[in-house]
């Protein structure tokens, strides 16, 4: 059976994954691996949202990118994971403010737009799991999980904390981040880190769904 090993690990909790409804925002280097991990773990009711198309430069880090150059990411992924729902849309502040997050058990944020990430925290922090900067790094063992307020070593996360404080936001939500100092100024990336971010996000989601820390 496809999920036999997952059932052996999770027991009756496996049914919680089968019944869960998730929203995944962004399916690039982090989000595409998170999606694959969720599907293989037994979560099938997933809506993914992205507006981008695959480019040749995505091939060093994004799942299935080498097969779909020039194609819409969400529609290409639908071919590999036919059970998912897809929305091709740009995730910005306006989109976040108008979207209905109510039907979802968890919202997984794998986008890199600062204003949209801030809006997500303010709108749905109770069900949010967010990823910060995964680019410019080589060491996946430096990946950590904390709240937005306990992140360290990541300028992007520091900027988010600063902006949230300006908005008088003081709630907590889980964040995947790396304490490894960036190795370059340009946006270079390594799949060993970006994929590990996505897998860590998947693990957080699974543990949250089954009520385990």
How many CB atoms sit inside 10 A of residue 121's CB? Answer: 23
Residue that has been written with the tokens 């769904």 in this structure: 209
pLDDT of residue 213: 65
Q: Are 182 and 137 in contact (CB under 8 A)?
A: yes
What are the pLDDT digits (tens) for 4-34? 999 999 999 999 999 999 999 999 999 999 9
Query: Per the structure, how many domains does the chain have?
Result: 1
- Dihedral angle at the C-alpha atoms of 48, 5, 18, 82, nearest 10 degrees? 40
Residue 165 has pLDDT above 80, yes or no: yes
The proportion of the chain whose per-residue pLDDT surpasses 70, expressed as a percent, equals 100
- Read off the pTM: 0.95
pLDDT of residue 37: 98
Domain with residue 96: its CATH number is 3.40.50.720
Q: Which two tokens stand for residue 96?
A: 């976040």
Pairwise CA distance, residues 39 & 193, whole Å: 20
Domain residues for the domain of 44 are 4-209
- SS3 state at 106: strand
Residue 131 has pLDDT above 90, yes or no: yes
Q: Which two tokens stand for residue 93?
A: 């502040």
What are the pLDDT digits (tens) for 76-118? 999 999 999 999 999 999 999 999 999 999 999 999 999 999 9
DSSP state of 2: T
The proportion of the chain whose per-residue pLDDT surpasses 90, expressed as a percent, equals 89
How many CB atoms sit inside 10 A of residue 190's CB? Answer: 19
Q: What is the largest CA-CA distance in the chain?
A: 51
What are the pLDDT digits (tens) for 44-70? 999 999 999 999 988 888 888 888 999
């Amino acid at each position: 059976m496809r999920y036999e090993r997952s059932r052996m690990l999770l027991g009756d909790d496996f049914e919680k994954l089968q019944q869960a409804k998730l929203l995944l925002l962004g399916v690039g280097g982090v989000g595409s691996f998170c999606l694959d991990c969720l599907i293989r773990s037994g979560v099938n009711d997933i809506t993914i949202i992205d507006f981008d198309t695959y480019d040749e430069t995505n091939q060093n880090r994004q799942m299935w990118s080498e097969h779909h150059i020039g194609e819409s990411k969400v529609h290409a992924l639908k071919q590999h994971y036919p059970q998912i729902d897809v929305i091709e849309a740009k995730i910005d502040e306006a989109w976040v403010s108008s979207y209905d997050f109510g039907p979802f058990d968890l919202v997984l944020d794998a986008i890199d737009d600062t204003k949209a990430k801030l809006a997500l925290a303010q709108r749905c922090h109770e069900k949010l799991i967010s990823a910060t900067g995964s680019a410019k790094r080589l060491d996946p063992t430096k990946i950590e999980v904390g709240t937005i307020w306990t992140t360290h070593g990541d300028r992007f996360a520091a900027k988010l904390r600063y902006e949230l404080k300006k908005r008088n936001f003081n709630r907590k939500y889980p964040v995947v981040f790396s304490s490894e100092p960036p190795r370059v100024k340009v946006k270079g990336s390594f799949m060993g880190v970006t994929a590990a971010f996505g897998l860590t996000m998947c693990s957080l989601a699974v543990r949250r769904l089954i009520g385990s820390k």
